[in-house]
Amino acid sequence: MHDYRSTVRACFVGYTVQAIINNFIPLLFTTFMASFGLSLTRISLLVTFNFGVQLCVDVLAGLFADRLGYRRCMVLAHIFCAAGLAGLTVLPALLRAPFVGILLSVTVYAVGGGILEVLVSPIVENCPTENKAGTMSLLHSFYCWGTVAVVLLSTLFFAAFGTARWRVLALLWALVPAANAVVFTRVPMPPKPAAAEKGSPLRALLGKKLLWPVLLLMFCSGAAEQAVSQWASAFTESALHVSKTMGDLLGTMAFSILMGAGRLFYGKKSTKLPLQAFMLGSGILCICSYLLISLSASPVPGLIGCALCGLSVGIFWPGTTSLAAGGIPDGGTAMFALMALFGDVGCASGPTFVGTLSDRLGDLHGGILAATVFPVLLLAGLWWFSRTAKKSA
């Protein structure tokens, strides 16, 4: 009998790796702007490329994942992540334009991130666990704890050695995916359930009415989360006028701690709390947090808003994954790939929308206020899903 606990633990680390590649560079936004003279629009391009490449991989993953097998794909994903992070230590110095070197490194690790985004959830979903929704929420909480680790350990490193040594830290973070790549060569891979052995053919999958509100929810989940997460450090530094250390700790880390706490809470209480009702309440709280962030003239309410936003968005992504797995059980890898695609489109769109609009307005407050549209659309998506599910019952 296989012990799939080691597989689930490796997947937990896989989402920690996802947190590293998505959240390390945002800690350096102000450093890059000062060192390389980059504008907010160019900084936004780093985020856009990261999630843009991930969504391209999402599109292709449905074609190659089943052929190569989950084990090979997971090992390759971690190798790409390690190589991209290691590339940050050398490429900016080798190339005449440091921005191009950073962009190339981001592209490499984004390939690995895209594969992880598509495959980690179905692997855990197929492992024999009793509480699927709770396990899925716990899995996604490790993205948050990974983000907390990235922010806290990076902040301590910068305090001790200075931000000028950020290349060394990038190499140290590259050791995490390198080690987990070795782990994935050994852990057992779960068999696919009979209903999803071949998956729903793409045309048939696209014809399922329940899929479309799910995709809207995934888009809004990514956009609502990353619009604040990717800009939390820069927002607290520039808009709220606090130091970089305090910006990282009180902005990005507070956001991630409460996001992880929300996911952990639902993971423990999922048998007693209706998922859709919990997501509805979280959506309302998300709108309130956006307004608190964007309309606050003093640091304290803005920081509270960042933290509350983390708490509110925690359930969106794993909750939508659970809704889809329960509503479309024969979706297979193609469904998870489409969900990851729309989620990453949201992850790219949210912070890019905030950065571009803020650059034009000259103020991050206005960009985040406009981004309130994402949690509003998420509430509409929940209503659409509930209505469609009742008609299909």
Quote the pLDDT of residue 135: 78
d(CA 150, CA 25): 10
Distances (CA, A) of 185 to 21, 77, 173: 21, 12, 20
Report the top-level CATH class of 5-188+199-392. Answer: mainly alpha
Quote the pLDDT of residue 184: 95
Token pair listed for 303: 């920081």
SS3 content of the chain, % helix, strand, coil (to 5): 85, 0, 15
Q: Specify the pTM.
A: 0.75
Sequential DSSP letters for 149-201: HHHHHHHHHHHHH-GGGHHHHHHHHHHHHHHHHHHTTTSPPPPPPGGGSS---
Quote the pLDDT of residue 240: 57
Quote the pLDDT of residue 384: 95
- For 204-220, write each residue's pLDDT tens digit: 788 888 999 999 999 99
d(CA 118, CA 60): 10
Low-confidence stretches of the chain (pLDDT beneath 50): 1, 195-196
d(CA 85, CA 314): 26
Q: At a CB cut-off of 8 Å and minimum separation 6, what does 62 contact? A: 118, 202, 333, 334, 337, 338
Token pair listed for 311: 């708490």
Quote the pLDDT of residue 374: 95
Nearest alpha carbon to residue 1 among 128, 158, 184, 165: 128
Residue 85 contacts residue 174 (beta carbons within 8 Å): yes
Q: Per-domain residue ranges for the chain? A: 5-188+199-392
Quote the pLDDT of residue 1: 40
Nearest alpha carbon to residue 368 among 275, 235, 198, 270: 235
Quote the pLDDT of residue 42: 78
Quote the pLDDT of residue 280: 95
Sequential DSSP letters for 17-81: HHHHHHHTGGGGHHHHHHHH---HHHHHHHHHHHHHHHHHHHHHHHHHHHHH-HHHHHHHHHHHH
Token pair listed for 336: 């998870």
